[in-house]
């Protein structure tokens, strides 16, 4: 299993939550006041993983019928 941390504007929340539900992907939306230690831990774990360009994500969404 791999973990991705995605930052998105509030107005795109429904778009992303619907996409994740449709593809049965696990997600967790963090509120701004979440524990910074938890976020820092996730970032440290993610440093060793592959970065995905934003355009590649948009292309994937478009191929699956999600309008961006």
Digit-coded pLDDT (tens) for 1-59: 577 777 778 888 888 888 888 888 888 777 777 667 777 777 777 666 667 777 877 88
pTM here is 0.44
In the chain the first and final C-alpha atoms are separated, in Å, by: 26
- Give the distance from CA 42 to its chain's centroid: 12
- The whole-angstrom separation of Cα 40 and Cα 23 is 27
Check: CB of residue 50 under 8 Å from CB of residue 3.
no
Domain range summary for the chain, segments of one domain joined by +: 10-63
CA dihedral 56, 16, 7, 1 (to 10 degrees): -70
């Amino acid at each position: 299993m791999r973990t991705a941390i995605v930052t998105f504007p509030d107005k795109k929340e429904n778009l992303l939550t619907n996409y994740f539900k449709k593809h049965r992907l696990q997600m967790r939306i963090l509120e701004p006041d979440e524990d910074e230690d938890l976020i820092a831990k996730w970032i440290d774990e993610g440093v060793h993983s592959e970065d995905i360009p934003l355009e590649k994500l948009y292309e994937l969404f478009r191929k699956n019928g999600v309008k961006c």
